[in-house]
Structure 1
Amino acid sequence: MKRFIFYWLPVLLVAGGIFYSSATPYQKQDMRPTLSHYLDHTMIADFFSSAGFEYAGEEVSVQALGPAGFVEFLIRKLAHFSVYFLLAFLLYRALRFTFNRGKTFILSFILTVAYAASDEIHQHFTSGRSPHVEDVMIDATGGLAGLIIAVLIYWRHFRRTTH
């Protein structure tokens, strides 16, 4: 029971947080009014004036989204990367007792990407939210980074304890 609580409960809490966030309509998550209040619009517009790209068929730039919308976009994508970094790291941590390193890495990555894809499908049914393959790609990249860090930490830890 202690092993479950210590290793699997964090995985379930992160997955549950992702599910809850996906079930929340965009209107309740909109950060633009708060960001508009606290951001220096001129500084953001000047700093990111040359930044612009296409994401999911839409232009992402300060000019297209406004300073608050642009910053919100960056925060949301960083959140995607970060939460799946954490999920993959925790999955690796929990699964490493069951499988060898290679299988643990692969299974953790597959589970992370599968959860990211199911999360985007879940968003399709939530008001004001839309699924994007690009988000799954960010999630997968975050997951891969989390797994690389997990492997390095556990490799270093176990190398140190065996020498």
Structure 2
Amino acid sequence: MKKVFYIFLSILCLCFIFFNSSQNGKESNVRSNNVVEKVITDIKESDISIPTISKAHINRKEFNLVIRKFAHGFEFGMLSIILFRVFSFFVLNKNNAMIYSLFLVLIAAVSDEFFQLYISGRNSSIKDVVIDFTGGVIGIIVIRTLILIKNKYMNRSIKNIITLL
């Protein structure tokens, strides 16, 4: 059942990525500008000190670009985590699962940029493929780190139980 769930989740994630890419430049910009305005409002209303962002003047255009690139990296990071889980069910070697996941993330990133060539107001960039793939690599690092931590504490708990016996 877990296999089916993660396969479905990976397809859903890919659909989400390509849905976002299918929006024309204006629609996409409106969505990211809404996020930027919300973040800026929250920063201005908070007591948080962010040295790189002056509360008096925030360059919305640059901040919008940062938010958009971060979102791209995050989407592909999530995709790599989900794909790693899928391949972990079918491949015994976790390193192979990692390689297969990153390979599919790279294919998805290149396909996504190719797809954007045909969307009004959108463009394609090698830099975006690098950002997407980097997000995928970070996702793999996160999931592998979490697995290592889980295994470390799980082994410690098992050793404690065995010692008590």
Q: TM-score, normalised by structure 2?
A: 0.75
Work out the CA distance in 2 between the residues paired with 1:36 and 1:84: 20
Measured at CA, do residues 33 and 108 of structure 1 come closer, stay the same or move farther in structure 2, by a change above 3 Å? Answer: closer
Q: Structure 1 residue 158: deviation in Å?
A: 3.9
Q: Structure 1 residue 86: deviation in Å?
A: 0.4
Instruction: Pick which of 74-83 and 30-39 moved more.
Output: 30-39
Matched, 1:73 2:69: no
Measured at CA, do residues 89 and 33 of structure 1 come closer, stay the same or move farther in structure 2, by a change above 3 Å? Answer: closer
Measured at CA, do residues 37 and 86 of structure 1 come closer, stay the same or move farther in structure 2, by a change above 3 Å? Answer: closer
Q: Structure 1 residue 13: deviation in Å?
A: 1.0
Q: Does the residue aligned with 1:130 lie in a helix, a strand or coil? A: coil
Q: In the alignment, which of 80, 84, 91 is matched to residue 92 of structure 1?
A: 84
Query: 5 Å matches for 1:7-156?
Result: 7-31=6-30, 34=34, 39=40, 47=52, 67-99=59-91, 100-156=93-149
Q: Structure 1 residue 29: deviation in Å?
A: 1.6
Work out the CA distance in 2 between the residues paired with 1:156 and 1:139: 26
Unaligned ranges ≥5, structure 2: 45-50, 159-165
Percent sequence identity over matched residues? 26
- Could you give the per-residue CA deviations for residues 105-137 of structure 1, whole angstroms, max 9, x where no partner exists? 111011001100100000001000001000010
Work out the CA distance in 2 between the residues paired with 1:77 and 1:161: 36
Unaligned ranges ≥5, structure 1: 50-61
- Contact 2:6–2:82 (CA under 8 A) maintained in structure 1: yes
The residue type paired with residue 101 of structure 1 is K
Q: TM-score, normalised by structure 1?
A: 0.76
Which structure features the higher share of strand residues? 1
The residue type paired with residue 143 of structure 2 is A
The residue type paired with residue 26 of structure 2 is Q
Work out the CA distance in 1 between the residues paired with 2:133 and 2:80: 9
Q: Which has the larger radius of gyration?
A: 2
**Which residue of structure 2 lines up, in the alignment, with residue 3 of structure 1?**
2
Q: Structure 1 residue 152: deviation in Å?
A: 1.8
> In angstroms, what is the RMSD of aligned CA positions?
2.7
Q: Does the residue aligned with 2:72 lie in a helix, a strand or coil? A: helix
